[in-house]
Amino acid sequence: MTAGSIGRRTGPFIATKEHRRFTEFANTIRKHRTIGLCFGPAGVGKTLSARRHANWDLAESRLQTWRPRDPSDEKVYAALARSRTVFHTPTVGGTLRALRKDLDLMTTRVDICMKQDKSTNSDGKRFVSRDRMVELIIIDEAERLSTSAVEYLRDIFDRTTIGLMFIGMPGIEKRMARYPQLYSRVGFAHSLPSASRR
């Protein structure tokens, strides 16, 4: 695989058994509107699986560079409507203000895109409009979060019906246990095995 123009890997995605388990895990968090922890060693595919589940490789450039709608955007709208997910990687040393701004911006833009999707229900009508259509926020590299950022994300969880997934290295579950108000809301944990154990 090679690095793309914006630092992303390009090439075919192989849906492994672990990716299918990740997708099942993400869908469970979304369905039950709970908090989930996903952890595993570096290089096992946590980030790739999360980006694939959120259709982020397809949608990211459209969401980052907001522009007038184009007919080619229909594919992005449909993909986001299927996943109903926002994927976010906090910057190293990022502030709470930056996290709040980034998450609010991406959540709002994903909502707008989903509302543009022409998917129909069994009656042939468009989606019923709701305030928030995003059902899951995935936070990659969760070790980068400050204490105030973790508290902010818990507050989002408490005030909305959005599920949260934190992705990190082994030990992230012990770090999150230091935040009892958040940890008490964790409904599921998923450990990815190292590549050598597959």
How far apart (Å, rounded) are the C-alpha atoms in residues 60 and 51?
Answer: 10
Residues 106-131 as b/e (b if ≥16 CB within 10 A, e otherwise) read bbebbbebbebbeeeeeeeeeeeeee
How far apart (Å, rounded) are the C-alpha atoms in residues 73 and 116?
Answer: 9
Contact 83, 57 (CB under 8 A): no
In the chain, the N- to C-terminal Cα span, in Å, equals 20
Domains and CATH numbers, the chain: 16-193 (3.40.50.300)
| This prediction's pTM | 0.84
pLDDT digits (tens, 9 = 90+) for 124-144: 455 555 567 899 999 999 999
Nearest to 29 by CA among 167, 121, 124: 167
pLDDT digits (tens, 9 = 90+) for 9-24: 556 667 778 889 999 9
Band of pLDDT at residue 166, cut at 50, 70 and 90: very high
pLDDT digits (tens, 9 = 90+) for 98-118: 999 999 999 999 999 999 887
The helix-helix angle for 46-54 and 17-32 (nearest 10°) equals: 60
